[in-house]
Structure 1
């Protein structure tokens, strides 16, 4: 076979596929509303823009530098832009993300399980028999960007939840397999195995230099420099990751997370330090999701915050939240 024939048969694309198991209901919706029910979605569906948005969020959360303009430029170069500002900002994404066999469901789930409410919104049901696959791909000419983005995508699968109430345990997707040329099974037997895997990804990103092991087994990683080193950073960045008490099933963990948020964030308006909807909407700095290690399910909590927001009142509320989930603080 000559070189020309080799080139003809070679694919112009490279790709990697991630197989994920949904541990808790996924409340991810499109624009369709149920007839006569203005605020109730007709379908829960797997939406690619939402996944891309989460990946971009965690990419930015790992950028420990003060120059926000440079961060936005690098993010745009990797993931695409809106077309506003410089002409280069309008380029499409180098990295393509898509669900394989996307689906819709009309099952229902409780938004806030601690309230004991009836199922209140449309969701995709959690099921050990129902695996979801997401493919990451790009043209071979952008392979360098592919290699740059890939560890951030694995970090997203490790720490993130998806959809409505994702920071309170809903939409927990557990990474099971990665397929490129060969199939790699992902299984964390215990919390220490997960911490080792997390440090491996941080090392690939050259971010492990910012972190050390926490002071106890429930504190997986912590920021190891002075807190003042973060003073000039204007966007939220990852500070800590903790793991709480294990449970037999994932929905019990989601219940516990929801209750913890209610107990630790029960103030009104500006007194709510772990996220609020009234008096100026603000997302919680604590991303609490569910992960399975061995045969147990655990709350996994990642702190992504601006240093200026981490005052005494916030830290008291944060520690109350963590303690209720079984974290040693």
Structure 2
């Protein structure tokens, strides 16, 4: 018997398929799948903590669109040369389906949307944040699969056995014109010069899943409340993002020779740790009666 081992990880031949004239984009499907998982898992955790059924879905109606807009804004603001440099098409700054969502902007504006929704329903935002924390980081892991299909977010050349093969993609309507974007198709799997490369998207995917498991374990063991589970997620994610950013070679703005996201990760990590420690003084996890009564009172007001 012969054992077959992959010397490298192959990339998908393409990241978009067509149903008639309708494009089906892997990146968009991964984002949608991540959102569904985050809502489903958050709903389960919310009810386990004493919250009323359906609250997470109501919050998501505000948080998700806010988060998508915030994520795109952060990406465009921190990498403006991709859209506004000479020869670039500014309208593509709106093309979310081509990839490019900054998690910092998504969390910031998504948090604003969640705060608005929580105020409307009388729900403590920190309690809701604790419930959805593992689901959010799991959604980020699923979203990284979209980067795999788009052939983006990778590092430098490597000879490691898990190196990622990236291929030259071409315009499917004119195979003589190279198109390395997500709309291109690889014909004959022609590798790019730096291939194989460090699969940093995969490192982050696995790290995010580990963070989700760690947050759940810590939450069950110590009954975290008042936003501490969410702070733990933020600290865990940024710790991983810090070292993964150091491996990435895709286009990014730099400060003092380091990528902007390296500094952002460090600052946010420190803030999350400080909050995690300080919030301990707020005492035990929120009373389940508080979480359930808040939603019930909101339902009564709507019924009047």
TM-score (norm 1): 0.28
Bigger share in strand: 1
Instruction: Tell me which of the two structures has the higher relative contact order, counting C-alpha pairs closer than 8 angstroms and 6 or more residues apart.
Output: 2
